[in-house]
Structure 1
Amino acid sequence: MPFDGLFTRAMIFELEEKVVGGRVTKISQPFPNEVILTIRAKRQNHALLLSAHPNYARIQITSIPYTNPPVPTNFTMTLRKYLENAKLTGIKQLDNDRVAYLSFATRNELGDELPLLLSIEIMGRYSNVILINQTEKKILDTIKHIGPSQNRFRTLLPGATYMAPPKQDLLDPYVDSSQIYKKLERQFPSREILAKQIQNSYQGIALEHALYLADCLHDTGDITVNWEKALLQIENPSPMIVNGKKDFFTFFKYDDELVKQVAKSLGELLDNFYQNKATSDRVQQQGAQLFHIVKLNLQKNRKKLKKLEETLEFTQKADSFRVKGELLTTYLYKIKRGMTEIELPNYYDNEKLIKINLSNQISPSKNAQKYFKKYQKLKNAVEYVTGQLKITKNELNYLEEVETQLELAEPQDLPDIKLELQQEGYLKPQKKNKSGKLRKNKPGQPAKYISSDGTKISVGKNNLQNDQLTLKTAQKKDIWLHAKNIHGSHVIIHSNSPSNQTLLEAAQLAAYYSKARSSSNVPVDYVEVKNIRKPNGAKPGFVIYEGQQTIYVTPSIDEIADLKV
């Protein structure tokens, strides 16, 4: 992805206008590799996200809400110690590299000035956030500790001397443009070759941006003007997501037919681009244990279901054992001790002869009793296996529902799902507090939406929220929706007579928060809440209903985003 040196420069240009001169009012670390500084500038609060994620490293102003963890990390505590109420005095870039330096002015415990530097290095798996004492050039702390055993040339540990990342032997396009001009004086290569020449000559230019610059240089007119005009777009960016072999974000202005989505700012652009990708990644990481438990139990129950079905199929032979036992009893006088088999006429099947195996170790009457015992055993097994089949199928249905919720979950939904799995016995129960009692954790709040005509709509994101929403919160006359015969969320329209538009929008939410999220023409049932019933002993989230109607919709992320509160 092209969060290269050029995009870093454009982002710094945007941040200089919005947050430089502001003060740090809050510091949180919602995820292991990401820090958020809330900066109050120009009478506004800006959430500045500093990410050292190996795949999604970046610096931006974000509008996505994050939950502050109850226990702060050591790095968070260090940042709070030094940066709370500090003034952001400037932001600079290291050459044209993916390194941004945030300068802060603050004072130490004695009241002396303490200039600090926060370095954000956007370098894939080597990305880092480093707090530096600018006077002593000493590292105060880093979000990722890199010891001598990991990197002999550049140690990133508290107390170590800070060293900038190794300088590349490439030119800064904003300082020296002569290299590319000299090459163009000799030849006018193809677009791809020219893009490669640009990358080999200049620092911090991703392939997508190199191709864009190559197109600019191929345009008719003065080469110098075209080159400098393209680079100066950082001052007036055009934030957009562009269709390519893989979609990518950029600040360059592309032709309309290539544009997939536009944004008002680079921060909004990155929110749009990374939200689903980063959220999915965080859920996979933080919910790894939950995914593993659910997958393990699904495999176990699928194997159990297969064995039960095989056993049930075998029990269909029960009647044949009964018939053989009755025939042996009827024709007992024909059987001699020591025989291993006998053919007898089957009066249940037009007197056709049937071969019956015998044990030569027991008497004829005991051979007959042996077949009656087999019959009785299989007959008893039918009832047991049928009951077990029902239990196993319900278990599978429940686990598949939880699996769907994990796939659709956001990080803040995971504690509810974990609590539910603990209550259902799939995970060890939560730890007791000092008084020996279990902590009572309340389920999170359902997602809230407002329809285009102002009607409130609620969406349960997991089974605990679904039960709370449908069985306790909703009014009897409210409208309940769910994707038909598909695992998904409960949706409530808080109105007894919603408009057709509201009904359609709520149905889209039900389809979007279901296993059929990526499908079209999804059937969604809707009915009044008073027609919903939860059977005794049913698993969380399971309900039955009657008198429903069905509507067909195609979920659209853009339309749903417009409904979010």
Structure 2
Amino acid sequence: MDYLIFKALAENLQSAWAGARIVRVTSSGPKSFSFQLLSGKNRRTLLFSLEGLMPRFHLLSEAPRGTEIAPPFLLLCRKFIEGARLKLCEVSPLQRVLVVTLETRDLIRGLVPYKLVFEVMGKQSSLVLANFDGKILGSVFIRADERLEAGRDYQVPVLSGERNVWTRDVERFSRVLRDRRGDLAKTLSSSFWGISRTHWDALLLSVSGFLSPEFLDESEIQALWREVSGLLDRPFPGAWLVPSETPGAWEITLLPMPGREGRVFPDIHTALEAWFSERDEAERVRRLRDSLLRALSRTSDRLNRKYEARKKEEERLFAAEALKGEAMELIASLSEIDPALLRETSARAQALFKQYKRARAVSGSVEARLASVLQEMKYVDSLRHFVGQGDDRTLLEDMEEELQERGYVPRPGGGARTRERKSSFRCYESKDGHRICVGRSNRENEALLHESTGPRDLWFHTRNMPGSHVILKLSGRERVPPELIELCARIAAHYSKGRGSLVEVDFTERKYVRKPRGSPPGFVLYHNARTVRVSSGDFSAHVTTV
């Protein structure tokens, strides 16, 4: 959040919400506070947050869920400014310091002003509540600062203007760019404070016509300076989210960027809400995925130990079989040995039989138990694959429920409960109109196999590795072209553990696929299959998402 965005947020807040009343103050975290505003029939929530890597303030369309424990700063706000009206929002000159003036009505003193100050200064960022005399009533901060102690007079921090672009003259500005080649936006953002790299990209594009020019001539440097000088007086009615260099990420800009068209928003508050909402959702997905992967890693370690124990039981069973063989040989030789040794040999054979029976009783059905462990290890391996590829919270929550049912993850509250599967398998449509459905988890694989297939549909799965079930929907005994077979196989390869490599994919008619009784979700046996070898490259150009 650079100075331009900070200033635009304050100006929009002042123009649209001056006079609004604070009807409720809540907290969604120890350092996140929400002020619910009411202006006529319009309601919005003003959020101030010092949590995460980026301190922020902006309006929200919905109030976040509050915490059960009220932080002390929340109690102060409720005591002094709940019910107050927002009178003025202003930004300290060339600093990311927002001062919100509030007025509340007192029976004795009449209208009483308070100030809510939000400072964005990296680890020194803070949120301060001060009274009408400028005395600090309380504050919340990232790093403790004696300047913000309760009872002190609040003073706006004084920052050095050495790197402030608006305190430079044209000659000092030009000196940074003159004869400079390479990543100019990076050079400018590291040389000057107040303008983000994304905004420098937009400014360079406007004066040079190129998204990433390698150098500027003197006339373009002068034009860039004029653009920068006019930014402080320029209105910013809208905002954009443009694609970042990082795949799947977005950047916020107040300036249009032809060539990097993204999503348009009516104001900067709406754009920031969308950006943080998507970022927070991505963070929740990442945390849930990492938590499930850790649980599966622990389960995998436990199964490996269990497998080693079963192997030792198998070795003991083999040793017991040797004892049995030795005892049988002794019994067979009784007719040939010296009668004087008959009793001793018979006792030896009986002792060996007893040892064999004890070992057999301990080992039990070793083969069946070893096979059960191997099957569970394959199942956990498939879970790790699907969780690792999961990028949707609903899908991951369904997989979390699956792990809870298997006992791999503790269920909250300890009670048993069932929940319907919320996620749905992904479906595509090929260019010739065929529907191709993909299960993205073991549960979805099972649902896809039993709920949405006909006996003549084709079933695809990578050979000998975890992956998705892929179903090609067919209307009957129609002839399937080889290129459609290859497309479905590529989709199966993409949604498998072999993504990014050359893999073998088996396919057969759905009627030749069955689920063994008592097997884990997603496990099947099949026959009459054919195999194709494909690479798991990008297939998006050949299908549309349904």
With normalisation by structure 2, the TM-score equals 0.62
Equivalent position of 2:104 in the other structure: 107
Which one-letter code corresponds to 2:369 in the other structure? Q
Distance 1:286 1:195, change over 3 A: closer
Distance 2:282 2:92 in 1: 32
- Specify the alignment match of 1:241 in structure 2: 243
Give the match for residue 302 of structure 2. Answer: 300
Mapping of residues 359-438 of structure 1, within 5 Å:
363-369=344-350, 372=353, 376=357, 384-396=365-377, 399=380, 408=390, 425=407, 431=413
In the other structure, the counterpart of 1:167 is 158
2:2 matched residue in structure 1: 4
Q: 1:151 aligns with which of 132, 139, 144?
A: 144
Deviation at 1:380, TM superposition (A): 5.6
Kindly tell me: are residues 85 and 385 of structure 1, through their superposed partners in 2, closer, same or farther at Cα, counting changes over 3 Å?
A: farther
What is the CA–CA distance in structure 2 between the aligned matches of 1:369 and 1:100, rounded to whole Å?
92
Specify whether residues 275 and 429 from structure 1 end up closer, same or farther in structure 2 by C-alpha distance, changes over 3 A only. closer
SS of the equivalent of 1:204 reads coil
Q: Distance in 2 between matches of 1:59 and 1:337?
A: 100
Please name the residue that 1:204 is paired with. 194
Could you tell me which runs of 5 or more consecutive residues in structure 1 were left unpaired when the two chains were aligned: 339-361, 433-437, 453-457, 498-506
CA distance in 2, matches of 1:563, 1:26: 43
Match of 1:132 among 104, 129, 132: 129
SS at match of 2:167: coil
Match of 2:70 in 1: 74
Helix, strand or coil: the match of 1:96? coil
Q: How many residues align?
A: 516
- 2:340 & 2:33 partners in 1: Cα distance? 87
* SS of match in other structure, 1:74: coil
Whether the aligned pair in 2 keeps the contact of 1:103 and 1:118 (CA below 8 Å) is: yes
Distance 1:135 1:121, change over 3 A: same
> Is contact 2:516–2:525 with CA below 8 Å preserved after alignment?
no
Counterpart AA for 1:389: L
For 2:470 and 2:223, locate their aligned partners in 1 and report how far apart those are by CA, in whole Å: 57
Alpha-carbon separation, structure 1, partners of 2:14 and 2:355: 85
CA contact (8 A) 1:19 1:46 kept: no
**Conserved in 2, the CA contact under 8 Å of 1:422 and 1:430?**
no
Instruction: For residue 30 of structure 1, report the CA deviation from its aligned partner.
Output: 4.8
Counterpart mapping for 1:251-400 below 5 A: 251=253, 252=255, 256=259, 259=260, 262-265=262-265, 266=268, 277-282=279-284, 292-309=294-311, 311-312=313-314, 315=317, 320-331=322-333, 333=336, 363-369=344-350, 372=353, 376=357, 384-396=365-377, 399=380
Provide the rounded CA distance (Å) in 1 between the counterparts of 2:495 and 2:46: 30
Counterpart residue identity of residue 249, structure 1: E
What secondary structure is seen at the aligned counterpart in 2 of 1:135? coil
Check conservation: 1:10, 1:237, Cα contact below 8 A. Answer: no
The Cα offsets for residues 540-561 of structure 1, whole Å up to 9 and x where unpaired, read as x6676989999x99999999xx
Aligned to 1:349: none
- 1:418-474 deviation line (CA, Å, top 9, x unaligned): 777666555666559xxxxx697967955799999xxxxx9999999999x9999x8
Cα distance change of structure 1 residues 151 and 302 upon mapping to structure 2, 3 Å threshold: same
CA–CA distance in 1 between the matches of 2:228 and 2:537?
39
1:351 corresponds to:
none
What residue identity is the alignment partner of 2:70? N
Output the amino acid matched with 1:176: T
Provide closer, same or farther for how the CA distance between residues 423 and 563 of structure 1 changes in structure 2, counting only shifts above 3 A.
same
In 2, the alpha carbon distance for the partners of 1:522 and 1:49 equals 52
Are the counterparts in 2 of residues 170 and 200 from structure 1 also a CA contact under 8 Å?
Answer: no
What is the CA distance between 1:301 and its match in structure 2? 1.6
User: Post-superposition shift, 1:262?
Assistant: 1.6
Call closer, same or farther: CA 1:424–1:37 in 2, change over 3 Å.
farther
Match of 2:483 in 1: none
SS of match in other structure, 2:264 = coil
CA change 1:91–1:518 in 2 (3 A) is farther
The aligned amino acid for 1:262 is G
Shift of 1:106: 4.8
> Post-superposition shift, 1:367?
4.6
Per the TM alignment, residue 57 of structure 1 is displaced from its structure 2 partner at its CA by 3.6
Is residue 136–residue 154 contact of structure 2 (8 Å, CA) maintained in 1? no
Give 1:304 shift: 1.7
Percent of matched pairs sharing the same residue: 19
Residue 16 of structure 1 contacts residue 90 of structure 1 at CA under 8 Å; is this kept in 2? Answer: yes
Question: Is the contact between residue 318 and residue 378 of structure 1 (CA under 8 Å) also seen in structure 2?
Answer: yes
Deviates more, 1:31-40 or 1:514-523: 514-523
Deviations 1:218-267 (Å, cap 9, x if unpaired)? 344274542231464673765423438997725255563xx4x6221356
Gaps of 5+ in 2: 205-211, 430-436, 477-488
What is the rounded CA distance, in whole Å, between the counterparts of 1:428 and 1:71 in structure 2?
A: 24
Take 2:88 and 2:55, find their aligned partners in 1: how far apart are those partners? 21
Deviations 1:139-164 (A, max 9, x none): 5555x556xxx6353446xx454756
RMSD: 6.6
Q: Given that residues 468 and 492 in structure 2 are in contact (C-alpha distance below 8 angstroms), is that contact kept between their aligned partners in structure 1?
A: yes
Q: Distance in 2 between matches of 1:229 and 1:416?
A: 51
3-state SS of the aligned residue for 1:113? strand
> Does the C-alpha gap of structure 1 residues 140 and 519 become closer, same or farther in structure 2, counting only changes over 3 Å?
farther
d(CA) in 1 for partners of 2:214 and 2:514?
A: 65
Paired residue type of 1:133: A
**TM, length-normalised to structure 1:** 0.60
8 Å CA contact 1:54, 1:125 repeated in 2: no
SS, match of residue 132 in structure 1: strand
Work out the CA distance in 2 between the residues paired with 1:174 and 1:288: 42
Deviation at 1:300, TM superposition (A): 1.4
Contact 2:91 2:99 in 1 (8 A): no
Question: Would you say the 8 A contact 1:324–1:371 is kept in 2?
Answer: yes
- Paired residues for 1:384-533 under 5 Å: 384-396=365-377, 399=380, 408=390, 425=407, 431=413, 446=423
In structure 2, distance between residues paired with 1:272 and 1:524: 43
Q: 1:419 to 1:248 in 2, by over 3 A?
A: closer
Any conservation in 2 of the 1:443–1:464 contact (CA below 8 Å)?
no
